[in-house]
Structure 1
Amino acid sequence: MSTLQQPSADDFLMGGSTPSAKFPTIGTAVTGRITTKPTVEQQRDYTTGEPKFWDDGKPQMQLVVTLATNERDPAVQDDDGTRRLYVKGQMKNAVAQAVRAAGAPGLEAGGALTVQYTHDGEKTNPRFNAPKQFAAQYLPAAAAELHTPDPGPAAPAPAAPPAQAYNPAPVPPGVNPVTGEIGVQPPVGLTAEQYAAAAQNPATAPLLNQIPQQGGEPPF
């Protein structure tokens, strides 16, 4: 007796169906989180839609895995990235090997699965294309959660560089720090060191011209 995959409640309500994962060219990979527990259904003929059987009468089965992916197809209205992966043939062997390598008992909701079309196998029937060959990787749900990046708190803004202390360069005694003249004495009220510091400080240098050369008090 054949097994028919029942549509999801949303598909039935909205009259839509989940797009299939496609592997058009060698190197194409499909990656996503498994959204629901995978199910098993009987394969169907692409042309007639009739259920498929092996020569001994046993039904040809396939595993249906629903993935949440980052893929978006502009031809699909309201595409949310959900894809159905039909696991059969050599792909089944690749996925089973990936599950064993992960130390898991099987595929589970929340696990992360990647399947890649790696190359073509040997063409044995001239009426059909060479069989696609696949490789797979699997992370169980717990491990997939650990590998999901956590955005965390926003990074703090970089601190402003510390203010540079004002350290005027030394001026030799008897040298005017403004004009560079030699033998010029500082104005009355300022020592040579104070005059040199004031001349090299942008806040006080413009005021030096206001200081009388003889007598008076400095304006700062």
Structure 2
Amino acid sequence: MTTPNDRLMRGGLPTASFLTVGTKVSGYVLRDMEEMAQREYDTRKEMHFDNGDPITMFLIVLATSERRDDIPNDLGMRALYLDSRNKKRAVRDAVRRAGGTGVGVGGHLTLIYVGDEQPARPGGIGAKIYTAEYVLPEATAANVSLLNEPDPSLQAVPLTAAPAGQPPVLYPPAAAPADYPAAYNPAIPSLGQGAPGYPAPGSPYPAAGYPAPGMPGSPYPAPAIQPAPTAPTAPVAVPNEGAAAPAAGALPPAPPHLAMLNPEQLAALGYGPAAS
């Protein structure tokens, strides 16, 4: 049921218009769809069928990503009027394909103007043709939850407790690796800090303010890093490099997929002309 607030707040919304083929409006449904009388453009009189029944249209308010410079303080809200049989059919079919029973708040609706029907009479204008896509509110809510779900691998490591009067250590001390110099001692405070614990050698997350081993201000030498062994590479033989191309008659015929190359190019690849 339409409330006074609904009638108040729908006023002044930019209308989604479809002036050229390919125009698209897409967004999330902000409130319940409304049904209202369709009116003549000039007189604003309500329109009726021949049997006297009112001709109605539907209003869907969408939150879109569109922003127009000619609209002051444009927030992307658009009033989408389903005021033609083709618009109604496109949206109705999209909702049914999605397994829904109607356009619901939180659903995502896309409507695209894709072409025109043949005019009913010469010189006339054919009705616009539309296609639509709809995503149920439950599916859009699930997508939002998925995208906003925190990734445990990205969470900060909690601060470890530090003795009174000393700054906290973001990364707890770790045991020295077996090949690290014996001078390393995690219990020795780092210079200028006075907090126990030193970042593990090679740690990608050194504690802020702690000089890494081998850096100025660090009491520990940098561990020796042995270069990784590399396998010898054999020289690459380039056919005919530095030598004149052999006579065409002494080369095997080029395969069919190289038939478009000229004789010089074929000779450089070690082929003669393709067999006819």
Q: Distance in 2 between matches of 1:117 and 1:70?
A: 18
Q: Aligned to 1:19, which of 14, 17, 20?
A: 14
The answer to whether the Cα contact below 8 Å between 1:38 and 1:64 also exists between their aligned partners in 2 is yes
1:197 paired residue number: none
1:101 paired residue number: 97
Partner SS for 1:40: strand
Alignment of 1:65-84 (within 5 A): 65-84=60-79
Instruction: Tell which structure's C-alpha radius of gyration is larger.
Output: 1
Alignment of 1:126-145 (within 5 A): 129-145=125-141
2:142 is equivalent to residue 146 of structure 1: yes
Q: Distance in 1 between matches of 2:29 and 2:17?
A: 16
Partner SS for 2:105: coil
> Which gives a bigger RCO, structure 1 or 2 (Cα 8 Å, sep 6+)?
1
- Deviating beyond 4 angstroms after TM superposition, the runs of 4 or more aligned structure 1 residues are 125-128, 151-156
Q: Distance in 1 between matches of 2:140 and 2:70?
A: 30
Q: Distance in 2 between matches of 1:50 and 1:128?
A: 24
The answer to whether the Cα contact below 8 Å between 1:7 and 1:17 also exists between their aligned partners in 2 is no
2:29 is equivalent to residue 34 of structure 1: yes
2:43 is equivalent to residue 44 of structure 1: no
Q: Distance in 2 between matches of 1:146 and 1:20?
A: 29
2:110 is equivalent to residue 114 of structure 1: yes
TM-score, length-scaled by structure 1: 0.63
Q: Distance in 2 between matches of 1:167 and 1:28?
A: 62
Q: Distance in 2 between matches of 1:150 and 1:69?
A: 19
Residue type at the aligned position of 1:132: K
Q: CA offset at residue 140 of structure 1? A: 1.1
Residue type at the aligned position of 1:45: E
2:238 paired residue number: none
1:216 paired residue number: none
Q: CA offset at residue 122 of structure 1? A: 1.5
Pick closer, same or farther for the CA change 1:47–1:167 going to 2, 3 Å: same
Deviations 1:52-105 (A, max 9, x none): 111222111111101011112222221111111111311101101011111111
Task: Report the number of matched residues.
Answer: 159
- The alignment-based identity, stated in percent, is 32
Q: Aligned to 1:61, which of 45, 56, 60?
A: 56
Q: Distance in 2 between matches of 1:167 and 1:113?
A: 60
The answer to whether the Cα contact below 8 Å between 1:42 and 1:52 also exists between their aligned partners in 2 is yes
Partner SS for 2:90: helix
Q: Which runs of 5+ in 1 are unaligned?
A: 169-220
Pick closer, same or farther for the CA change 1:17–1:7 going to 2, 3 Å: farther
Deviations 1:149-192 (A, max 9, x none): 62556868xx48xx884449xxxxxxxxxxxxxxxxxxxxxxxx
Partner SS for 2:141: helix
2:86 paired residue number: 90
Q: Which runs of 5+ in 2 are unaligned?
A: 156-203, 206-221, 228-276
Q: CA offset at residue 131 of structure 1? A: 1.0
